[in-house]
Structures are given as structure tokens and as C-alpha cells.
Amino acid sequence: MAYLRWRRFVELASLDRPWLGELFMRKRDQPIVAAPVETWDREYREGVYDRLARSEQRHHHRLLAAVIADRWPNPRVLEIGAGEGVLFEALRAHAPARYVGVDFSAPAIELGLTRLAAERATGVVDLVLGDGRAFRTDETFDVVVFSECVEHLGEIEPLIAHYAPNLKPGGGVGLTMWLALKPLRLWHCLKALGEVLDEAVINTPWGGGWLVAVVRPASTPGV
């Protein structure tokens, strides 16, 4: 318990002090290794992520949805690495005008198509099978969200540049991320790309934490 508290203290302190995170980071020279699609497919089939739909696992989704809707009422949201679209459960209360979820795991998309069948029928929701590093659409959105997945999508700069054409003028990038030192490097990169509109940390009773943030990239059209 004392170790967990110490770790949380270091993670929180390193939010604004990247050097501190680097100091205490284990295996700092090794990159984050993205899991292959086969691993995600198997885990979705085995129901590993069913727990993500539980209420106590979705505080970060609810906060991000509220923060987005506060700034962009009836938001249009593109979620990359959307899994089965559980984030939409939090967005629903804010009457989003559009939600497109993209994931490269076919079983995740199948689960999402069932979960969000009613909203798909109305044309508000779409769930698409695709690689989040290369997905393309002509649609534009208020926010492009990376929730619990940005560490699987490679370098931040090219990723944000890739989705910049899909942002409406003044649009933003939404992020949720499990608080840990190595992924925080990605947050520091994202922060450096524009203006931080919102940044918060949700601490869980069992000792973990989520970073929830919205950034307006300087490359957004109209900025």
C-alpha cells in the first residue's frame, strides 16, 4: 500500500515535471509495445473487457463526456480505438449529434454493433472496423477521442496530424489514459502540440488513476 501511494505521488508530481517521471521510470529505454490485433480479438471474445462497462470503471468516460458536451453541446465525436463503443454510454446523456467509433478488432466492433443497435438505426452512431493509425473519413467532428488506447497507436505527432483534417474549426482532441509513467510521455507530447482546455485526474478507490484531458491542437483549422 505504501508503495502504491508513493507511485501515485510520483505519477501525479510528474504530470507537470516530466523529468521526475523519467527519473523513476522503469525500463525507460524500452518502448511501449503495442499488442497485436489477435490479442485484442481473443480478449474481446473471452469477455475480458466486460468489466469496462461496469459503472465503477467508467468515471473517466463520464467526466470526458461531460467536459466535451460543456464546450461542444450535442457534440460530434470520432473515437479511435473505440472497442465496443462503451464511451457512447456516457455521451448518450449529452445527446451527441454524431458518434463514429473505429477499432481494428472485429469482435469488439461486433459487440458494439449489438450494444448500440438502436442508435445505429437512427444514423447517430457508426462503428467501423479499421486501423486507428490510418483510418480516413471525410466527416468532420468537434472532438477526436483516444480513450485508453493512445499508447497502442505509435507516435503522437503524426497521429494528431493525421486526424487534424477531421476536426471542425476550433475542435479538440480528447484523451483518457491510465496513469503510469511511461504513457505519460505521450501526454506530454500531446500537451506540447496545442492548448490544454481541460486536464484532470480521477483517483480510484483501489489505487489506480485516470488522466482525462482535452487539448486543442495548434494545427486545428481556424486556430
Ligand X SMILES: C[S@@+](CC[C@H](N)C(=O)[O-])C[C@H]1O[C@@H](n2cnc3c(N)ncnc32)[C@H](O)[C@@H]1O
Residues that bind ligand X (CB under 6 A): 34, 40, 52, 81-83, 86-87, 103-105, 108, 131-133, 147-149, 152-153
Cβ atoms within 10 Å, residue 161 = 13
Q: How far is the CB of 9 from ligand X (least distance, A)?
A: 25
Which residue do the cell numbers 507516435 mark? 155
How far lies 68's CA from each of 80, 92, 174, in Å? 16, 12, 8
Q: How far is the CB of 5 from ligand X (least distance, A)?
A: 25
181-192 and 156-163 are packed helices; what angle lies between their axes, rounded to 10 degrees? Answer: 50
- Nearer to ligand X among residue 67 and residue 82 (C-beta): 82
Q: How far is the CB of 6 from ligand X (least distance, A)?
A: 26
Q: How far is the CB of 88 from ligand X (least distance, A)?
A: 10
- Nearer to ligand X among residue 18 and residue 94 (C-beta): 94
- Nearer to ligand X among residue 153 and residue 186 (C-beta): 153
- Nearer to ligand X among residue 81 and residue 171 (C-beta): 81
Q: How far apart are CA 104 and CA 202, in angstroms?
A: 28
- Nearer to ligand X among residue 6 and residue 178 (C-beta): 178
Contact between 144 and 78 under an 8 Å Cβ cutoff? The reply is yes
Q: How far is the CB of 131 from ligand X (least distance, A)?
A: 5
2-14 and 181-192 are packed helices; what angle lies between their axes, rounded to 10 degrees? Answer: 20
- Which spans in 76-180 are helix H? 87-91, 106-115, 117-122, 156-163
